[in-house]
Amino acid sequence: MTVSIADIHRWDAGDVREVFHATRSRAEAAFEAADGIAELPAFGTWGGDAAEAAKEANGQIRKDLDAHGNEALAVAQAAEAAADRIQQVKNDLTQLEADVAAAGFEIDPASNTVMPGPALEGNMVDMLAKEAEREALQARLNAILAEAVSADEELARAINMATGAEPIPDTPHDNRPEIQDALSKPLPEDPQQFNDLWDKLTQEEKDWLYERDHSIGNHPGMPFADKNHYNRMYLDELQAANQAELDRLRAQHPDWASGESGAPSEEWQSWKAEWDAANHTRHGYEEIDKALASPDGLPRYLATIDDQGHAAVSVNNPDTAKRNATFVPGTGQDLTRFEGSADKSEQMLQAALRADPNLRVEDVSVTTWMGYDRPMNLWEAASPDYAHGGGDDLAAFQAGMRASHDDGAAAGPSVNTVIGHSYGSTLMGAAGLEGNHLDANNLVAVGSPGILAENASELSLAPGANVFASRAENDVIGIATYATLGPDPMARQFGGIPFEAAPGAAGPLGLPTVDAHSSYWSAGNPALDNMGRIIAGRTDVTPPTFTP
């Protein structure tokens, strides 16, 4: 399909908008009629089979009118979109024609080409510059013509929908044009805009969106109760798909699946790799099930789940909590080890309650967040790539937590804290750098190799936010600071607030250890008490007993 310059000049966006206004009016009339039937008196004392038949008939008429209104509205939306694009194409062409004339060129409408115009005088440099200008104008013309073809196709689609030659997209019935319009477009990426729309949807519309995208519960800005509802359904589906994969592999080689080693061969190695991966996935989902089991009686919310090894589980509802914390684990922590990280979150929740006896249990929520691709060994952990790849996801999750929070139920905005352990602190830093904004009141770097910032002031955080840091004296991670991930957040020149941690176990000759790196949540460790204070909204942490 081609569209010429002459075609564009003949187009009239106003004519197309008349189609929009006519079909929009038709849709609204159908909706008003449907509402009118719904508001008819319930036949008073009239009873019997005739009354039931009349009610059923009226109900069907209302459904038909509602469906007709939605169809007319879909045509109107298509016509409006086509009119907007047609007008934009005409505006772009008008501007281009003016620029072509100002440059001394001409447009040949037969070939859709920007022509050089009268011969130029001057040196070779001037002539080359003029030719480059002509080529740039030609590129603009080509782009306008390509957009014109797309707009023409959109207009043809609107016409075909109006005549019945093309099916009208299926959407839930809704007599609110603005909602019908929103459901015909991609959902807003912005967490606040998404939350504003989601709150206006009916349950039928929410379920319809889930059927179209089973991972919709991961969308930042969705209330956590709905996240939990849809993500638990999605988890069931993921587990069923994983079990089907295991069954397929077992059927291929039942002897290998039962533990017998196959003869070394390419087939066995390929099968074994698939078998191990499927079992690893199964193990990860089982760990999520354990994290959702609620052994302490506190509700759990499945805030994130997918088939890429990402998950997040909240203890208590972040939307109604006064104090929200998000814990980001680090290197080597995949879903098969989720329960261990979830245990740390539960300990921090209890530490926050101890730090402020006025807080009720439900006032504090802690989320274990594994929503990024984590480095799985020390070699990978030396690179900032994983942090850069996942920083925007953490920033979006925190923005969504802020957007869905019920300030009325919590008597105001919550105090939000993000705790990053090991490489999790590096990811946390990336979430507040390079154009990202991390909407948190407190950042806590624990056992950090660096958070990619040279100074705490570089991070884009909530107004008045504090950056805290702690490292055990015998933590082996101290060797990695200042290497590839930034300076030590504990250092005075970094500009954060350091706090005390127990020294942790030392190795032979007093060397640092891995055990010390994971000791911050051990019973009696002042680091845990300090993290509890920070989550509770306090800043009076105890200072460190050693200088890094």
Q: What does the pLDDT look like over 473-496, one tens digit per residue?
A: 999 888 877 778 999 999 999 999
176, 305: one domain: no
In a domain? residue 212? no
Res 344 pLDDT > 60: yes
Angle between helices 203-212 and 224-252 (to 10 degrees): 30
- Strand ordering across the sheet containing 466-470: 300-305, 311-315, 364-370, 323-328, 415-421, 442-446, 466-470, 497-498
Quick one: average pLDDT of 14-21?
59
Quick one: average pLDDT of 268-285?
94
| DSSP, residue by residue, 336-374 | GGHHHHHHHHHHHHHHHHHH-TTS-GGGEEEEEEE-S--
Decide which of 277 and 51 is more confident.
277
Looking up tokens 């884009």 gives 460
| DSSP, residue by residue, 459-470 | S-BSTT-EEEEE
Bridge partners of 302, per DSSP, are: 313
How many CB atoms sit inside 10 A of residue 85's CB? 20
Angle between helices 338-355 and 266-291 (to 10 degrees): 20
167, 285: one domain: no
Phi then psi for 448, rounded to 5 degrees? -95, 135
- The whole-number pLDDT of residue 6 equals 80
Res 69 pLDDT > 60: no
Domain that holds residue 71: 5-185
Res 46 pLDDT > 50: no
Looking up tokens 């909204």 gives 537
Decide which of 398 and 133 is more confident.
398
Token couple for 491: 């250092």
Token couple for 108: 């040949």
Domain count, the chain: 2
167, 288: one domain: no
CATH number at residue 518: 3.40.50
In a domain? residue 313? yes
| DSSP, residue by residue, 430-487 | HTTSTT--B--SEEEEES-S--S-SSGGGS-BSTT-EEEEE--TTBGGGGTTTSSS-S
Of 185, 220, 241, the domain-final residue: 185
- The whole-number pLDDT of residue 118 equals 63
Sign, CA dihedral 340-344-350-354, equals positive
- The whole-number pLDDT of residue 324 equals 98
Of 162, 185, 208, the domain-final residue: 185
**Helix runs in 457-525, H state only:** 514-517
- The whole-number pLDDT of residue 52 equals 54
17, 123: one domain: yes
Task: With cut-offs at 50, 70 and 90, classify the pLDDT of residue 1.
Answer: low
In a domain? residue 247? no
529, 424: one domain: yes
In terms of average pLDDT, the best of 7-16, 55-64, 73-82, 217-226 is 217-226
d(CA 505, CA 181): 61
Contact 476, 330 (CB under 8 A): no
Closest by Cα among 222, 208, 198 to 303: 222
In a domain? residue 72? yes
The DSSP output letter for 541 is P
Task: With cut-offs at 50, 70 and 90, classify the pLDDT of residue 173.
Answer: low
In a domain? residue 195? no
Closest by Cα among 418, 422, 256, 270 to 337: 422
Of 125, 158, 185, the domain-final residue: 185
Pairing of strands 311-315, 364-370: antiparallel
362, 504: one domain: yes
Closest by Cα among 338, 331, 345 to 377: 331
d(CA 334, CA 332): 6
Task: With cut-offs at 50, 70 and 90, classify the pLDDT of residue 188.
Answer: very high
Proportion of the chain in helix, strand, coil states, percent, rounded to 5: 55, 10, 35
175, 290: one domain: no
Looking up tokens 């209890």 gives 350
In a domain? residue 43? yes
Contact 447, 422 (CB under 8 A): yes
In a domain? residue 210? no
- The whole-number pLDDT of residue 97 equals 87
Res 35 pLDDT > 90: no
Quick one: average pLDDT of 344-358?
97
In a domain? residue 190? no
**Helix runs in 456-520, H state only:** 514-517
Quick one: average pLDDT of 363-382?
88
Count of residues in the chain: 548
